[in-house]
Amino acid sequence: MPKLTKRAIDALKPEAKDYFVWDSQIAGFGVRVMPSGAKTYQAQYRKGGRTRRVSLGRHGKITVDEARRLAKDVMGQVAMGENPAEEIALERRAPTVASLCDRFFKEHAEERCKPTTQKEYRRALDLFIKPEIGSFKVIDVERKDIAALHHKYRHTPYQANRTLQVLSKMFNMAEIWGLRPDGSNPCRHVPKYREEKRERYLSQYELQRLGEVLCTAEQDGSESVHVVAAFRLLILTGCRLKEIQTLRWDYITDAGMELPDTKTGARRIPLPAAARAVLSALPRTPGNPYVIEGKLENSHITDLQHPWRRIRARAGLNDVRIHDLRHTYASNAVSSGMPIQMVGRLLGHTQIQTTMRYAHLADDPVKRAAEENANRLSAFVSVSPQPKLRIVGEA
């Protein structure tokens, strides 16, 4: 076998079948000549009783000396117990992020997540992840790629952070499925953006105004009795919108509302007398199992957003969302002196940290009590104005 040189390789002529010419200095280093005349450098070795071959590059694109150095690297990897040909084959067969997105949604989201979570995942996958890194191989995604995607949506920090959460979960599943090495999640250590929590609570005056508008809407027929009842129940129970929207009559018991499936699992929600009065005043259609009836037969209402926009406009509360009624319920409970743990139980929070966003409101009754007490005592310890000091030598 001759030493491979540029002149020797240029002189090789194509034949009817491809053939190899091997180098005399490095065992396993050679050039493959195709019938088309194309010539590629090769590194060949045996692993596990099989002959494996790695293509190093095309003659003319790289020099023979560059190819020889690459062949030495390959043989060095083999000597260390590695199998570079198999690694290259795995890389070529590796799925793209787009295919991982599809598998993640089908095998994880659809099987394990609630419909609302599935909707959030689908949005993040289709609008933010696939367009940015969908063509990347799963194995090739690095932390810098995730950081760049996250940074691109920095002007909408909530969406950027939710997308990062979906990515992190998806790459955790990729490790479980053997598509990436353990502990290689590229989302690790990518810091989330700070989110400004929107806290809007209705004052007593605003609540009174909203109550008046609900009464008026019910009386003049501009909103159905079921729509009005839905908002009254949201105010009186602190429930999430979906919990009232899909409430069934058979969930109502002497103990309260027995909800079999909520955001945090099965819940029993107390029903105070005011809420029971709202329920007892509602008309019931035979055969319809839902409390807040929809327009279609035997269905619940599917849209409370449009009615709410009309109601809040009449009440002059255009910046108030439906979810702010839940915040108002919580803020009133905390401000009245109710322990924060009890408020968390009423709201169905599984972690105390979630309820702690209302903790600062617990200071309000303490401040009022301190002010009232000080006012009563001030008459006894009122401070008289200090006399003006006379400076020595002053005329």
Question: What is the CATH classification number for the domain harbouring 146?
Answer: 1.10.150
pLDDT of residue 344: 81
Where among 30, 65, 93 does a domain terminate? 93
**Residues 124 and 50 placed together within one structural domain of the fold:** no
**Residues 215 and 314 placed together within one structural domain of the fold:** yes
**Residues 153 and 252 placed together within one structural domain of the fold:** no
Mean pLDDT, the chain cut into blocks of 10 residues (395 residues total): 86 93 91 94 88 90 93 89 76 84 96 90 96 93 96 94 97 92 94 84 91 95 95 92 93 91 82 92 93 92 95 94 90 81 81 72 65 70 58 55
Read off the tokens for 67: 């190819």
Looking at the domain assignment, is residue 360 inside a domain?
no
pLDDT of residue 360: 64
Where among 53, 75, 93 does a domain terminate? 93
Looking at the domain assignment, is residue 35 inside a domain?
yes
**Residues 270 and 302 placed together within one structural domain of the fold:** yes
Looking at the domain assignment, is residue 283 inside a domain?
yes
Domain count within the chain: 3
Q: Is 167 exposed, middle or buried (0-12, 13-18, 19+ CB in 10 A)?
A: buried
Read off the tokens for 285: 């259609």
**Residues 219 and 260 placed together within one structural domain of the fold:** yes
pLDDT of residue 313: 96
Q: Is 322 exposed, middle or buried (0-12, 13-18, 19+ CB in 10 A)?
A: buried
**Residues 87 and 110 placed together within one structural domain of the fold:** no
Where among 93, 127, 161 does a domain terminate? 93
User: Which amino acid is it at 191?
Assistant: P
pLDDT of residue 389: 54
pLDDT of residue 195: 83
**Residues 171 and 109 placed together within one structural domain of the fold:** yes
Instruction: Please tell me the distance from the alpha carbon of residue 126 to that of residue 129, in angstroms, as a whole number.
Output: 6
**Residues 154 and 81 placed together within one structural domain of the fold:** no
**Residues 89 and 120 placed together within one structural domain of the fold:** no
Looking at the domain assignment, is residue 332 inside a domain?
no
**Residues 104 and 57 placed together within one structural domain of the fold:** no
| pTM given for the model | 0.59
Looking at the domain assignment, is residue 329 inside a domain?
no
- Give the domain CATH number at 30: 3.30.160.390
CB contact set of 28 (below 8 Å; sequence gap of 6+): 22, 43, 44, 45, 71, 75
Looking at the domain assignment, is residue 361 inside a domain?
no
Looking at the domain assignment, is residue 350 inside a domain?
no
Instruction: Please tell me the distance from the alpha carbon of residue 103 to that of residue 80, in angstroms, as a whole number.
Output: 35
**Residues 231 and 273 placed together within one structural domain of the fold:** yes
pLDDT of residue 383: 54
Domain with 70, as residue range(s), is 6-93
**Residues 213 and 300 placed together within one structural domain of the fold:** yes
Looking at the domain assignment, is residue 192 inside a domain?
no
Q: Which of 131, 133, 117, 132 is nearest to 166 (CA)?
A: 117
